Every structure is written in C-alpha cells, then in structure tokens.
C-alpha cells in the first residue's frame, strides 16, 4: 500500500515539477534544457553509449555540484582501469549538469536524472542498460532502485554519507526507504559513522573507503588566477564561502557591529584607520541567488564588484561578489581566510576539503552535521577552527589576518590534511571492478540457464 501511494504521489507531482522547472529556468536557463529527459522521454537524446574493447558502460548519478566534483575525482581512476569505458552521467541540478559537461569524453552521454515515477525510471533503465549504476553520496530513490533491479542493472551507492538528521527522516519514511536502501547491490561509505547509520536502514555496506573529494585536485590555472588577483588586492581578503540564505544578511550586519558604526560605509571607513582592513568577498552557494545577494549588499550601503564584470581582475568595491561557477579554487587562492558557508545557520555546512587543499584557512560555525567527520578531522589537523557564530568568526578572522605566521601554519596543515586522506578513488574503482566482474559472471550463468530466454518446453517465458 505504501509503495502504491508513493507511485501515485510521484505521478501526480509531475505537473508541479514542470512548473518548478519553468520557474527555476527564469534564473538558471539550464533547467529549461531537455526537460523531457526528466520524465523518461528520450526522443532527441543520444542512444546508449557503446564502450570499446569489452569495457563497461558506467552510469554515474551526481545530483548536484558537490556530487559532480566527487564524480570528477573518481573518473580518472575508472578511465585508467577501463580505457574503453563509456560514461553515462546524470544530474538533478543545472549547476551539476554544467560542471559535469567538462567531464565528458567522445562517446559519453549526459542526461537528467529521471523523475522517480515507475514509468520514467523503467524507460531510463531499459533504454540505457548500464553495466553498473553508481549513485553518488545520498541519492537513493525507491522507483529508481526497483527499475534497476527489474532490468538487471547492478546499482551501488558510492562515497555514501548519511547524517543523524537524514537517518531520522529516512526512518520516519518507514519501509519504503528501507526497502530502497536494502535493494542496492553494495554501499561504500565515507566514514564508520556513515556506515553505521546506513546499516540501520538495511543498506548492504561492504566497506568504508573514505571521501572521494580528498582525491580532487584543485586546478593549477585557477589557483594561479586567484593568486594574481590576491597580489592586486592590496589588503587581506576575507571570504564568506558557499554562503546560504540568511548568512549574507548576518555577515553584513556583523561588519557594522565589528566596527561599532551606524552604517556599513562608516564601518569600512573606520577600519581604514586600523592596522587590518579586510576586503570582503562573498561567494553564494547557489547561482540563482547572485542578484539577490548583490541587492542585499546594496541595501546595507555597500558597493559591489561582481566577478562577472571584472575585466583584468577585481575592481575596487566594498564587497566583491563571486558570481561565477567552477572558480572556487581561484576564490580560495584569493582569500587569506574563509568562513564556511552553511555552517552559521542550521544547514549542515559545506565541503571544506577543497578549501584545505587550496591552502586556505577555514573558520566554521557550529552546524557541520552534513560533513561532521571531515570538519572534525580538519579542526584536529589545525586546518580549520570552530567558532560559535558569525560574529565570533569575524572577530577571530581579524586576529588571523594580522597573524601571517598563524595563517601559514593553517594553510600548510590544510594541504597536509587533504593529502593524508587521499586514496578513496582507487579503492572505489577496485570495488566497482569486482562488482562489474561479478555481474559478467552472473550474466553468463543466466544466459546459459533455461529459465531465462526460452522456457524448457520451448515456449517464451511470461513477461
């Protein structure tokens, strides 16, 4: 009954999804691209990719930007393991799809994730029939799991994580989600804590392989670009990285409080007479909020210099706004200290591994439950510090900006921390190879069996 209600709900929600895509597409045109793919309609989509030399077709589902970057860390190991492989890459967000386009090679295919109706997921699985499906991190959908099982597609969850909050939500969903997790072929968790929580949902956890994001290498070109911008800044740069709704307003408010002035321009003027006057830099997490954050800064009396309007580098402004995609290494290289967005409101934080790998000291708030172990490991390694709120973060940042030696120690600790935890990509690729090999042996056995194909009396089996 629960499954039938879920099937009905996802079917009835399709018009609402189309309306949401049209609305999101006004700010992010990528959402208007190939909309029919989301409903399992592939008239204009490429056919199934054809691997070479007996290599597999690997389907990676990376719903958003963070998961796509994890996939980017895994792909070199997979391509080295299977030189003739083809990639089927799916996403749920426009930022993920834009980032993922850079990972494609000739013969690969990129699509939207099918909406989780029985019909759409079945059409997807039957049309593309990957040799293995890999869901990145958290994306477990009941009908998608069922469709893959029905079509004989091995489906695994890689780089898997599950917070306490997400576990409680999944448990409230009851047997529906538990059946989906139990229906996976294998789960490879990031941490022991993630593995324990996943097992509580019935997931077949086969190992703790680490976090793929440690294997991501920052672009040297972007790092060099950020360092060049930094040389031109003329003063220390304080970055609010991957900020979320509500954090920017508090950030601008605290700028005033820090200087004890009535308005943001007065605050900045007062700091000009002090030893350290930071250049403020804000990079919102979601691109559809770029204009909103620029307007918010204006409401606080701040002038804004937008990255999208820079010619040869940053232009003078009270606040620089990082309104571009794919340039976080450049922003981290530009900054002297980064405040971790998503951690100052109860949103679970953002991935701080990239900041550490770029050598940018991090100050994080109390809310890092989505990346709990990485945050604690970074703190223990000396790459990050935890503060109780955004006001405390700004006060601590002022101290760090005046302490070049302290920042240098945190920067080197961050790089060492990132190097120390590498290796998940190679481990995951090896685990996938065993899974694909097992499928090949299973398929050969099934093909030889009279129960698949013609029945013993020569009649075709029932559908």
Q: Report the relative pairing of strands 279-284 and 237-243 from DSSP bridges.
A: parallel
Distance, in Å, from the CA atom of 434 to the CA atom of 269, rounded to the nearest integer, reads: 62
Residue 216: the pLDDT is 92
SS3 172: helix
Q: Give the pLDDT confidence of 372-420 residue by residue, as tens digits.
A: 889 999 999 999 999 999 999 999 999 999 999 999 999 999 999 999 9
Residue 301: the pLDDT is 87
pLDDT (mean) for 123-147 = 96
Q: At residue 266, does pLDDT exceed 80?
A: no
Tokens of 148: 């893959």
Decide if 109 contacts 89 (C-beta within 8 A): yes
Tokens of 364: 């994080």
Q: Is 67 a catalytic residue?
A: yes
Confidence band (pLDDT; 50, 70, 90) for 458? very low
Residue 15: the pLDDT is 96
Maximum distance among all alpha carbons in the chain?
A: 93
Q: Give the pLDDT confidence of 2-35 residue by residue, as tens digits.
A: 889 999 999 999 999 999 999 999 989 999 999 9
Residue 62: the pLDDT is 97
Q: Which residue has the higher pLDDT, 174 or 81?
A: 81
Q: Report the relative pairing of strands 304-306 and 319-321 from DSSP bridges.
A: parallel
Distance, in Å, from the CA atom of 333 to the CA atom of 327, rounded to the nearest integer, reads: 10
Q: Give the pLDDT confidence of 222-260 residue by residue, as tens digits.
A: 999 999 999 988 899 999 999 999 999 999 988 866 655
Residue 57: the pLDDT is 97
Confidence band (pLDDT; 50, 70, 90) for 264? low
Distance, in Å, from the CA atom of 291 to the CA atom of 209, rounded to the nearest integer, reads: 40
Residue 312: the pLDDT is 84
Residue 413: the pLDDT is 97
Instruction: Calculate what percentage of the chain has a pLDDT beyond 70.
Output: 90
Nearest to 238 by CA among 416, 325, 361, 356: 361
357: buried, middle or exposed (CB in 10 Å: 19+, 13-18, 0-12)?
A: buried
Q: Which residue has the higher pLDDT, 450 or 309?
A: 309
| Mean pLDDT (the chain, rounded) | 89
Q: What are the C-alpha distances in Å from 353 to residues 218, 265, 358, 371, 463?
A: 10, 34, 9, 10, 49
Q: At residue 454, does pLDDT exceed 60?
A: no
Q: At residue 73, does pLDDT exceed 60?
A: yes
Residue 68: the pLDDT is 95
Place of tokens 């294997």: 215
Decide if 312 contacts 334 (C-beta within 8 A): no
- CB neighbours of 85 closer than 8 A, spacing ≥ 6? 51, 55, 56, 57, 58, 78, 79
- 236: which DSSP letter? -
For 176, other C-beta atoms within 10 Å of its C-beta total 13
Q: At residue 140, does pLDDT exceed 60?
A: yes
Choose the catalytic residue: 67, 247, 248, 354.
67
Residue 172: the pLDDT is 86
């Amino acid at each position: 009954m629960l499954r039938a209600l879920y099937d009905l709900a996802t079917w009835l929600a399709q018009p609402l999804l189309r309306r949401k895509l049209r609305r999101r597409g006004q700010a992010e045109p990528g959402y208007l691209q190939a909309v029919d793919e989301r409903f399992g309609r592939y008239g204009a989509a490429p056919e199934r990719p054809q691997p070479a030399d007996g290599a597999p077709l690997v389907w990676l589902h990376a719903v958003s930007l963070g998961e796509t970057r994890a996939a980017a860390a895994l792909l070199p190991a997979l391509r080295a393991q299977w030189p003739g492989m083809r990639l089927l890459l799916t996403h749920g967000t426009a930022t993920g799809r834009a980032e993922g386009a850079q990972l494609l090679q000739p013969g690969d295919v990129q699509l939207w994730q099918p909406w989780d109706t029985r019909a759409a997921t079945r059409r997807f699985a039957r049309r593309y029939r990957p040799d293995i499906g890999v869901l990145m991190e958290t994306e477990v959908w009941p009908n998608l799991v069922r469709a893959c099982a029905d079509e004989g597609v091995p489906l695994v969850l890689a780089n898997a994580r599950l917070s306490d909050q997400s576990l409680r939500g999944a448990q409230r969903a009851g047997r529906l989600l538990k059946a989906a997790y139990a229906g996976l072929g294998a789960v490879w968790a990031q941490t022991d804590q993630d593995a324990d929580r996943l097992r509580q949902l019935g997931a077949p956890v086969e190992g703790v392989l680490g976090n793929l994001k440690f294997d991501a290498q920052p672009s040297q070109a972007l790092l060099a670009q950020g360092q060049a911008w930094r040389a031109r800044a003329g003063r220390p740069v304080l970055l609010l990285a991957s900020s979320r709704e509500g954090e920017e307003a508090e950030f601008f408010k605290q700028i005033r409080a820090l200087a004890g002035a009535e308005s943001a321009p007065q605050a900045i003027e007062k700091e000009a007479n002090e030893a350290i006057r930071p250049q403020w830099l804000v990079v919102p997490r979601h691109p559809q909020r770029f204009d909103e954050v620029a307007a918010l800064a204006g409401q606080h009396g701040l002038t804004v210099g937008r990255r999208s309007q820079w010619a040869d580098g940053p232009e003078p402004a009270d606040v620089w706004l990082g309104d571009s995609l794919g340039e976080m290494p450049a922003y981290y290289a530009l900054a002297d200290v980064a405040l971790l967005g998503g951690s100052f409101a109860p949103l679970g934080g953002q991935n701080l591994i990239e900041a550490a790998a770029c050598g940018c000291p991090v100050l994080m708030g109390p809310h890092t439950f989505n990346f709990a172990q990485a945050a604690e490991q970074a703190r223990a390694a000396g790459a990050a510090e935890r503060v109780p709120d955004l006001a405390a973060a700004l006060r601590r940042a002022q101290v760090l900006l005046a302490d070049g030696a302290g920042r240098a120690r945190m920067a080197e600790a961050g790089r060492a921390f990132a190097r120390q935890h590498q290796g998940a990509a190679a481990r995951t690729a090896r685990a996938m190879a065993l899974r694909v090999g097992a499928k090949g042996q299973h398929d050969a056995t099934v093909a030889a069996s009279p129960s698949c194909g013609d029945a013993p009396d020569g009649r075709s089996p029932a559908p």
